[in-house]
Amino acid sequence: MRNIAAAALCAAALIFGNPLPGLAQDILTTHRLSAALAAEAVAEAVAACAKQGYKVTATILDADTVEQATLPGDGASTGTLDSAHDKAYTVLTLGAARNEDTSGAIAQRVGPTPSAGGLAKLPHMLLAQGAIKIKLGTEPIGAIGVAPGGELDEGCAKAGLDKISGRLK
């Protein structure tokens, strides 16, 4: 009887105390910016546009399109909140398939009049320049979007990304 109990105890220890090596393959490791780094990037993007007299909002989404930081600049209209978010969302969702790193590249590829039955109907798609993917090496870990939609948006997003790029390692 003691041998059976000892064998059962050993079997339980092996099963529950030592996870199978194959299980580790079922767990994904993801990366995202810290809150402080995301806040620093959006602040720099807003400041870069403000220096040029441009009133914007900047937003950072993580790779799962979850909002990490948003900063409406002084005087930025409420519509810029959605626009900055949607530009970042667009580059993360549509840019992956073709390895496009900016919403401007996607907008240029799609053209000025996307089909009314296609991309234009998808929620949170905004085919306009103003968002750039944030990468850790080659891995997309998020995107920064700037709005309201002028020619300066992508440059301001780049200023925000440049501010933190040295710490993306």
pLDDT digits (tens, 9 = 90+) for 25-67: 789 888 999 999 999 999 999 999 999 999 999 999 999 999 9
Q: Are 160 and 57 in contact (CB under 8 A)?
A: no
From the list 69, 91, 100, 106, the residue with the least C-alpha distance to 143 is 91
- CA gap 129, 106 in Å, rounded: 8
- CA gap 86, 76 in Å, rounded: 16
How does residue 111 score in pLDDT terms, banded at 50, 70 and 90? confident
Q: Are 158 and 44 in contact (CB under 8 A)?
A: no
- Pinpoint the alpha helices (H) of the chain: 2-17, 35-50, 79-98, 103-110, 153-165
Asked whether residue 120 carries a pLDDT value surpassing 80, the answer given is no
What residues have CB less than 8 Å from 44, skipping those under 6 apart? 159, 160, 162, 163, 164
**Predicted pLDDT at 150:** 79
Structure tokens at 164: 């933190």
Whole-model pTM over 0.85: no
Compute the average pLDDT of residues 142-154: 92
- CA gap 160, 69 in Å, rounded: 12
Burial degree of 28 (CB within 10 A; 0-12, 13-18, 19+): exposed
What residues have CB less than 8 Å from 40, skipping those under 6 apart? 163, 164
